Structure 1
């Protein structure tokens, strides 16, 4: 597995070339001992605004690196004005090379602060190993403005500075592609704010996640901070509050959370009649569903993967609206969002049998070992059997997420690191 080394010299006030040489020599000794037979890229991060009394900071670093004649490693200097921007730059370089294992060499006083940044800017896809250097007072190693060093714990004030640094940097990034939202003509726009996102309008940079990815997980390289910034930009453009946003905690079941009651650990549907909240269902091949009742002013969102479809999550969401808010089945409107089509989705014959039992037309080439399955058709049939009038079901967003790479994310197409789009809905004030 490819590896990288990160030498953190960002917060150290370097007053002389000797001080730089001392720290780098100790760090390079560690690199030489640990990587005798391998060739990791070594990234040295430092601040653009270092005040050195012997010339330009970068030239001092370059001169110091050249002085290590025995070092046969690829060394890159990474310099920006903030820790967040520097780490983000390094993350992009790691992603380009598909590197996940990183050894960080840093002053012991910096450990807690660095871990706070790492927790927010990286996911568990990356494996970090920390090795610290403790320099005595004669080494003249200090700390950068705004970040107190020396403490082995991080204060609430420092955490706020970390958050502020990250938010300010991510907020400054240019959007990738114009925000594109697909809307339904069935849901009354005067009552409900709603839509289905596409992959455009965010800041995520990894190709499989670019650019409006709205989900972070241990299997994806997009960190929570980037996803939060994408959500903030979506909310600002559309007009909802990201602080009262609730995304389905998908579990491939038919469990539905009635907002206001205790939230389950996992569920595939949400229903509510509360103003001021936005609920959403994720989808990267799975089918996002939006529900609205303009009479009782209740609404819902559900995620219907193939397991959830068979288990009836769509009608479970409808029934929750009926039982909790007194909705009439004749008043409930259901919109089926973008999902994978039968052109690209197959199951084993045993698994496909459940869809064949719903309707033989939900399965193509049933006699083959891996029949093609139509999740969308099965969902519509189950909704109609449950009492939803055909005219109250909108199903014209028939673009296959896997086929349409230019518009949608797809896990089937791009694997576990694929981004996630959502269907969202809220009630207007």
Structure 2
């Protein structure tokens, strides 16, 4: 069922004859969709560079309809569609019909691909106008998008998103005192410190503030896009650009893990697997990152061999040993010594909020009884952070070289429960399937 109808008047060169057609179109939309559709929208240009005022005059002269058409007016298509997307999201609508001319259909599809995800289902209907024979021929010829036009659309979207203010507070990066640091100057605009590890490493853990994601469970500094969520790649890329600018890395040299909730590790420079929960590298200027939204983002650094790694450790990955798999990769590939490797656990869900079915919890009880509370209940509480520390220590990492739990944290908020702190962190446990993601990241300075 069509939940929304968008009629594209954007930048049309209208005349008295086409005005008549458009009015008939509006009446037809009203008749066919007003009873069921929850959002009827006209989009048009209000830019002073529009070639004539007939578009605005025609819209202003529309008759009063039983169900009101909302008019979205902006100077750019990127701004117009992004505003419409916000309204669709407010109403939780996903089935959308777009009525546009053949001339604009291909370009419109590019904008849709950039600003929406597979959550939305679009149907296109030709907006039949008497454009004249030459314009019809031009429309047919222009029903594809050239590489130059594609680049122009992408740049227009990037420029618009870059202009948006950060939401929910200032961009904040948490860092660890474990990795030796030399403090640089304070960035008064973003109110954060940039830390350099012996002039070698830049690292940090993001929070949820300072980005442009506006959906409640993704707001505002979401750093992961999925076809199953409403935050498109373009928005996540803008959030990443802002992080890169604040932290001092190149967003074009950025690699996230491809989560499998297992123990696979990609050793950068070798063939990249289809999925993996750890990355190691000794390449300079390349940022590697582990996602986290209840799962632990782990950061590894060896200041001696100048190598680093990240891992995503959920409860399954913890039991499968992803933390030590990443350590072992550092040792095997770069000659790191266990006593030189530093490990920082980023914020994750705490034992106060995380439960597992009894059979799964028993695996943590077998690691250490203190990892489980109410072990005989149907859903015991599990401490994946304690389990991670224990497994790292058993693997040879020195206790003093692990940070990020109540045993080691020095008021740096690395041990905060993501579920308990909705103002600071995303959480799957708290927010459900449409959760946002923060990251832990590290790079070796060039």
Question: Can you list the C-alpha shifts for 1:361-390, whole angstroms capped at 9, x where unaligned?
Answer: 111101110111111011000000000010
1:318-329 alignment to 2 at 5 Å? 318-329=327-338
Aligned to 1:423: 440
1:101-120 alignment to 2 at 5 Å? 101-120=95-114
Residues 1:174 and 2:165 aligned together: yes
- Distance between the aligned counterparts of 1:224 and 1:74, measured in 2? 32
Aligned to 1:206: 215
Aligned to 1:370: 379
- Distance between the aligned counterparts of 1:322 and 1:247, measured in 2? 21
Which range moved further: 292-301 or 389-398?
A: 389-398
Q: Secondary structure at the match of 1:243?
A: coil
Question: Can you list the C-alpha shifts for 1:291-330, whole angstroms capped at 9, x where unaligned?
Answer: 0001110000000011101100000000000001111111
Residues 1:52 and 2:46 aligned together: no
Residues 1:95 and 2:89 aligned together: yes
Aligned to 1:184: 176
How big is the shift at 1:17? 5.0
How big is the shift at 1:265? 0.7
Aligned to 1:124: 118
Question: Can you list the C-alpha shifts for 1:50-93, whole angstroms capped at 9, x where unaligned?
Answer: 33355xx4343031243xxxx53231000111000000000111
**Structure 1 segments unaligned to the other structure (5+ residues):** none
**Structure 2 segments unaligned to the other structure (5+ residues):** 181-196
- Distance between the aligned counterparts of 2:34 and 2:79, measured in 1? 31
Aligned to 1:234: 243
- Distance between the aligned counterparts of 1:198 and 1:47, measured in 2? 37
| Runs of 4+ that moved beyond 6 A | 139-143
Residues 1:405 and 2:442 aligned together: no
Give the CA RMSD over aligned residues. 2.0
Aligned to 1:390: 399
Question: Can you list the C-alpha shifts for 1:249-276, whole angstroms capped at 9, x where unaligned?
Answer: 1110100000000101100000000001
1:257-296 alignment to 2 at 5 Å? 257-296=266-305
TM-score normalised to structure 2 length: 0.89
CA distance 1:24–1:268, change in 2 (3 Å): farther
Q: Secondary structure at the match of 2:118?
A: coil
CA distance 1:48–1:36, change in 2 (3 Å): closer
How big is the shift at 1:126? 1.2
Q: Secondary structure at the match of 2:62?
A: helix
Residues 1:83 and 2:77 aligned together: yes
Aligned to 1:359: 368
Which one of the candidate residues 312, 321, 328 is aligned to 1:303? 312
- Distance between the aligned counterparts of 2:170 and 2:240, measured in 1? 15
Aligned to 2:39: 41
CA distance 1:237–1:356, change in 2 (3 Å): same
Q: Secondary structure at the match of 2:325?
A: helix
Which range moved further: 283-292 or 124-133?
A: 124-133
Q: Secondary structure at the match of 1:64?
A: coil
CA contact (8 A) 2:291 2:438 kept: yes
How big is the shift at 1:352? 1.0
Which one of the candidate residues 249, 254, 257 is aligned to 1:245? 254
CA distance 1:115–1:53, change in 2 (3 Å): closer
- Distance between the aligned counterparts of 1:314 and 1:371, measured in 2? 23
Aligned to 1:4: 4
Residues 1:25 and 2:16 aligned together: no
